[in-house]
Amino acid sequence: MSTLKGFVIAGTHSGCGKTSIALGLMASLSRKGLAVQPFKCGPDFIDPGHHALACARDGQPVPSHNLDGWMLDETTNIDIFNRYGASADVAVIEGVMGLFDGISGVTDEGSTAQMAKTLKLPVILVVDARSMARSAAALVSGYADFDPEVNIVGVIFNRVGSESHGDLLREAMSLMPDVPVLGCLKRDEAIATPSRHLGLVTPNQEGPDMDRYQRLADWVETGLDLDALLETLPQIAVDPPFEPVPQLPSVTIGLARDNAFCFYYEENLRLLRTAGARLVEFSPLEDTRLPEHLDGLYLGGGYPELSVFELGQNTRLRREIKAFCESGRPVYAECGGFMYLMNDIITGRGRYAMAGVFPIRAEMFEKFRALGYREVTTQAETLLGPAGTCGRGHEFHYSSIQDEPGMQSLPSVYSMTGRKGPITTPEGFQMGNTLGSYVHMHFGSQPEMARYFVDACKRESIRNMQD
């Protein structure tokens, strides 16, 4: 058993600046020589990519891990936190949306507050203080008293206009001595992390601008005393879960990873490796051939719509991937990876040919077409398990399938429910040993999925050798 400092950075609402502050804190703690382990509440893929760079050690990114009170059970969340926190000096968990926002309006399920209670971690509340003085104290009071089990140990005011504005905020907070003001950060839009229609710009899209994280660290340090903040936090005991002896790799799975395909839950990859997979990365943008001796493919999500021209021009790899799918070797594709396996993608700039595995096309829209948590139950045997396999994930995309005749020829193998009940839109499409879906499944919700996928690769590998 080991100990570390740990805290949750939560916001009053989305857009209050918690991501910029979390990144600044991570970068500042890291350059002090501390080993910082980042985590992200919720299903987001983009923030963890920034975390990994802000917490880099010896020039190497430190993977950030998703924690989620709806997709994952309590034991799994605790295991993930303990597994990766055990080797760190400090754990920083960035929240999702507002502190109490989750899947329900009446419970804390899926919220940052739920995760803080599950992990027994203190919460630092980020408040956008623009145009507020004494009202800020009233706001903080409401958050502090809303759920007595959530331990708010301090507040950071963001977008503070001036020194005198900060003085007013501290004066107002003197009415709440149990929630100290940890810092007042001046308004500085120049250091904000750029955003786009699906949230923040990914590090892959913009290039690893390491200077940005150092600028964020400088900004955070001008408004708060980091050493004093750490001093106020208790040491937390972490007990890493028992890890069985890992299996020697028995199959090789190609993992699409580049600017267009970069959305993967780190736990999914760990579970695949634990089940006996060796993961070999390749780029559908840059590589003209698949890696040799692959037994399966995993095509994750991302932003293929931003690279449709380059993907379409890479004709040789598109054809090789289609042939791989037609060979019967297992291929699992999620969201952007699923779009890549369609006939084409339609954007405002035109129609672009993709791999042509599924006889349908995806069309991009200005507004999102689906958003929310999903519980999936398979209606037939798939790469992820026998009929009746149940797992949880998340769906968020701005495209939809536009080829109805093609849809009619595709068997839909998922039944889904969301926050409001059953979802009737067909989902989960299987052709041979290729499974595609808009849903990002979290294998931590059903670890058998990873094992079943690896076993499917093993069976097909043995069959090919016998042939």
Residues taking part in catalysis:
335
* Cβ 24 vs Cβ 126: under 8 Å: no
H or E stretch covering 311? helix 308-313
3-state SS, residue 128: strand
With contact defined as beta carbons under 8 Å apart, do 221 and 28 qualify? yes
Tally of CB atoms within 10 A around 210: 14
The continuous run of DSSP H or E covering 256 comes out as strand 251-256
Match 């140990």 to its residue by tokens.
153
238 neighbors 85 (Cβ within 8 angstroms): yes
At position 371, the amino acid (one-letter code) is L
Residue type, 220: V
Name the 3-class secondary structure at 385. Answer: strand
Amino acid of residue 146: F
Q: Give the chain's end-to-end CA distance (angstroms, integer).
A: 50
Using CA atoms of 60, 30, 302, 380 in order, give the dihedral in degrees to the nearest 10.
90
Strands 350-353 and 342-347: antiparallel
Q: Where are the beta strands (DSSP E) in 239-389?
A: 251-256, 261-263, 277-282, 296-299, 301-302, 331-334, 342-347, 350-353, 358-364, 370-378
Task: Kindly tell me the sign of the dihedral angle through the C-alpha atoms of 330, 404, 351, 423.
Answer: negative
Quickly tell me which residue has 């998340």 as its tokens: 394
